[in-house]
Chain A
Amino acid sequence: MAVVITQLFNGISLGSILLLIALGLAITFGLMNVINMAHGEFIMAGAYTTYVVQQAFSHYVPASLFNYYYVAAIPLSFLIGALLGFILEKTLIRFLYHRPLDSLLATWGVSLILQQVARSIFGAPNVAVTSPTWLDGGLTIAGAVLPYKRLFIIALVTICMVSLYLYLDKTAAGRKMRAVTMNRSMASSLGVSTKKVDATAFAIGSGLAGVAGCALTVLGPIGSTIGTYYIVDAFMIVILGGIGSLIGTVFGALSVGMLGTIAEFWSGASMAKVIVFVAIIAFLQFKPAGLLSARTRSLE
Chain B
Amino acid sequence: MDKKKLGCWLFFIALFLGPLYLTEFRLALMGKFLCFAIVALGICLIWGYTGILSLGHGVYFGIGAYCTAMYLKLESSNGQLPDFMEWSGVSALPAFWIPFSNPVFALGASLIVPALLASMLGFLTFKNRIKGVYFSLISQAVVVVFVTLFVAKQDWTGGTNGLTNFTTLFGFSLASPLVQIALYMLTVIILGLSFALAARLTNSRAGRVLSAVRDGENRVRFLGFNPTSYKVFVYSLSAALAGLAGTLFVLQVGLISPAMMGIIPSIEMVLWVAVGGRHSLIGAILGAVIVNSAKSFFSETYPDIWSIFLGLLFIIVVMFLPNGIVGAFESWNEKRNKAKQKGGTADAADSVVS
| Docked CA distance A18–B317 (Å) | 32
Residues of A within 8 A of B318 (CB): 96, 102-103, 105-106, 109
Most buried by B among A117, A228, A270: A270
Residues of B within 8 A of A274 (CB): 145, 148-149, 152
B156 within 8 A of A: no
Whether A270 and B314, one on each chain, are in contact in the complex, defined by CB atoms closer than 8 angstroms, is no
Query: A101-B53, A270-B151, A274-B149 given as contacts; is B315 within 8 A of A281 (CB)?
Result: no
Residues of A within 8 A of B218 (CB): 299-300
Whether A113 and B128, one on each chain, are in contact in the complex, defined by CB atoms closer than 8 angstroms, is no
A35 within 8 A of B: yes
A277 within 8 A of B: yes
| Docked CA distance A92–B316 (Å) | 11
Residues of B within 8 A of A285 (CB): 124, 128
Residue interface mask B270-299, A partner, CB < 8 A = 1? 110010000000000000000000000000
| Docked CA distance A299–B310 (Å) | 37
Residues of B within 8 A of A278 (CB): 145
Kindly report which residue of chain B lies nearest to residue A243, judged by CB atoms: B134
Whether B311 and A277, one on each chain, are in contact in the complex, defined by CB atoms closer than 8 angstroms, is no
A105 in complex: contacting residue of B137, B138, B314, CB < 8 Å: B314
- How many chain B residues touch the partner (CB < 8 A)? 41
CB of A101, distance to nearest CB on chain B (Å): 5
A120 within 8 A of B: yes
Using a CB-CB cutoff of 8 Å, which residues 207-250 of chain A contact chain B?
228, 232, 235-236, 239
| Docked CA distance A271–B149 (Å) | 7
Residues of A within 8 A of B322 (CB): 102
Query: A112-B307, A285-B128 given as contacts; is B133 within 8 A of A101 (CB)?
Result: yes
A145 within 8 A of B: no
Whether A113 and B307, one on each chain, are in contact in the complex, defined by CB atoms closer than 8 angstroms, is yes
Kindly report which residue of chain A lies nearest to residue B310, judged by CB atoms: A112
B270 in complex: contacting residue of A105, A277, A284, A288, CB < 8 Å: A105
Kindly report which residue of chain A lies nearest to residue B121, judged by CB atoms: A281
Whether A100 and B128, one on each chain, are in contact in the complex, defined by CB atoms closer than 8 angstroms, is no
Q: Which secondary structure characterizes the binding site on chain A?
A: helix
Query: A110-B311, A239-B137 given as contacts; is B129 within 8 A of A288 (CB)?
Result: yes
| Docked CA distance A236–B311 (Å) | 24
CB of B184, distance to nearest CB on chain A (Å): 31
| Docked CA distance A95–B322 (Å) | 12
A255 within 8 A of B: no
Query: A105-B314, A110-B315 given as contacts; is B141 within 8 A of A236 (CB)?
Result: yes
Using a CB-CB cutoff of 8 Å, which residues 74-116 of chain A contact chain B?
92, 95-96, 100-106, 108-113, 115-116
Whether A112 and B134, one on each chain, are in contact in the complex, defined by CB atoms closer than 8 angstroms, is no
Residues of A within 8 A of B130 (CB): 284, 288
Whether B145 and A273, one on each chain, are in contact in the complex, defined by CB atoms closer than 8 angstroms, is yes
Query: A95-B319, A115-B307, A274-B148 given as contacts; is B133 within 8 A of A104 (CB)?
Result: yes
Residues of B within 8 A of A127 (CB): none
A280 within 8 A of B: yes
Interface residues of A toward B: which range? 35 or more
Whether B148 and A271, one on each chain, are in contact in the complex, defined by CB atoms closer than 8 angstroms, is yes
Residues of A within 8 A of B270 (CB): 105
A35 in complex: contacting residue of B133, B151, B274, CB < 8 Å: B133
B140 within 8 A of A: yes
Kindly report which residue of chain A lies nearest to residue B305, judged by CB atoms: A116
B313 within 8 A of A: yes
Whether A105 and B124, one on each chain, are in contact in the complex, defined by CB atoms closer than 8 angstroms, is no
Whether B263 and A228, one on each chain, are in contact in the complex, defined by CB atoms closer than 8 angstroms, is yes
Query: A270-B151, A281-B138 given as contacts; is B53 within 8 A of A104 (CB)?
Result: yes
Most buried by B among A111, A112, A239: A112
Residue interface mask A14-37, B partner, CB < 8 A = 1? 000000000000000000000100
Kindly report which residue of chain B lies nearest to residue A95, judged by CB atoms: B319
Query: A120-B304, A285-B124 given as contacts; is B141 within 8 A of A280 (CB)?
Result: yes
| Docked CA distance A213–B271 (Å) | 29
Whether A106 and B314, one on each chain, are in contact in the complex, defined by CB atoms closer than 8 angstroms, is yes
CB of A30, distance to nearest CB on chain B (Å): 12
Whether B311 and A116, one on each chain, are in contact in the complex, defined by CB atoms closer than 8 angstroms, is yes
| Docked CA distance A288–B125 (Å) | 8
Residues of A within 8 A of B94 (CB): none
Whether A104 and B136, one on each chain, are in contact in the complex, defined by CB atoms closer than 8 angstroms, is yes
CB of B319, distance to nearest CB on chain A (Å): 7
Whether B138 and A239, one on each chain, are in contact in the complex, defined by CB atoms closer than 8 angstroms, is yes
B190 within 8 A of A: no
A92 in complex: contacting residue of B152, B317, B319, CB < 8 Å: B319
| Docked CA distance A270–B153 (Å) | 10
Most buried by B among A35, A101, A277, A299: A101
CB of A116, distance to nearest CB on chain B (Å): 5
| Docked CA distance A120–B274 (Å) | 28
In order of increasing CB-CB distance, the 3 nearest A-B pairs are A109-B314, A112-B311, A113-B311
Given A105-B271, A120-B304, A299-B218, 18 new contacts (CB under 8 A): A35-B133, A35-B136, A104-B53, A105-B274, A106-B318, A108-B314, A112-B307, A113-B308, A113-B311, A232-B137, A236-B137, A239-B134, A271-B152, A273-B144, A277-B144, A284-B125, A284-B128, A288-B128
26 chain-A/chain-B pairs, Cβ below 8 angstroms: A95-B319, A103-B318, A105-B267, A105-B314, A108-B311, A112-B310, A112-B311, A113-B311, A115-B307, A116-B308, A232-B137, A232-B144, A235-B137, A236-B137, A236-B141, A239-B137, A239-B138, A270-B151, A271-B152, A273-B144, A273-B148, A274-B145, A274-B152, A284-B125, A288-B128, A288-B129
